[in-house]
Chains A and B, each alone.
Chain A
């Protein structure tokens, strides 16, 4: 039942493409991002990598319109309506002793105007059960969020990103705290969603996963260090000196790099 529900709501190629034009961001006088020019195509898996503190999360939050950035971000959807964004935040920072169960959390996120303490409606209940099944959440929905393992909590977070069915999925390090079975399930799910035409932005750490699944990879350290297909970008580097090199290149010839990255977009399509 749950799978058929998922299929019904999945038309093809509905994700938006995203264009960044000269995107920059300053917070508290510190330059976090600068001169980012990118074209991210619709319905593809775009991985974002880069050193910690290099501005990946800020970049994504700028794309989502939550940062006072400069420059332009355009999301161009083939369909007329606004893209439905599913967002998996990096961490759910909350008091672990709070009496909030999995189903309470899903109610807070997805239940609209009906307060979480009044329980779930019939329709949300089915949607939520379906989403939890898709991410392979098997524990009891009446377990407190705080007593779940890291992997299970991550699954719950992923499940909320699937309600309502997104056309743009933004994943901020989805494999954090994830167990092996969960990673496999996630990768499968990401692949299927992309095949359904969902645009996926994925901040990733594991370069093997990037090689295997991404359509494009973008390394961000203040600005775009490189951008292109994983085969082109990753194979010439070995993972050990990737980020070291990334920092050096970003400082010395960033304008050069951004222009070449623009052309690699064209080639890889």
Chain B
């Protein structure tokens, strides 16, 4: 037993070297890890640019990766406020100003703010008119387009121009803020608002309104494919978006034994003849025992029953007498 223990504790030279090397390297790595201290960053945009956080992100794919990285590059290249040009600009063009410079979006800035930045009142008005008429700035250099803005003024202003990431795609112009915030998500077809529908590519204010109206008429969709039935919604648009749709909230059904004629007729699936037949049968036979019983009406077939089944049910088992 003693010899065994001795053997247990005996290492040769190579083993010593190897083991110490492994343990030493490991300890060194851990030491490096725990002594690392965080770095405070004064200007948030250096770390994560404001645009990336506040605006929806363009998802990089292999195709547009180059474009995005190029875009990022241009953003970063002018993101920190350059001290030199600031003082230089002050000396040359805007000596009288006491207000410090600030970052601005040339597409949304008001004329008063432009005056604060040192732009002459008249040129500022021209600027606003240009934007109001549909003019857009896609890159910082574009502000040269403003009539009456002098070259040295442009030079001073360019470092302060901030444009959101997706600013150069014209398609997103009409989108609402809500739509932008949910852009990357899928759509729950029964609870999402018109604005949320607009976040899908291919659906604008018109189609979203149509879909929401049809949904409220139905009382809610019972399957994703039902969206296709929306009047005026082309099949091509549906094919484009249907992968992003999903359904969790089923429509709340109506008791067919208490529903009146108007409720039935308002439902898109039920014609007024069918509605009156359903009501008549109910009056004659004293209420449906279950929903399948409407098949006993001659004019109603099983296809119709399948269609309306998610929207109607028979409450309890007792019959309603009328």
Same complex: no
Q: Could you list which residues of chain B lie within 8 angstroms of chain A, going by C-beta atoms?
A: none
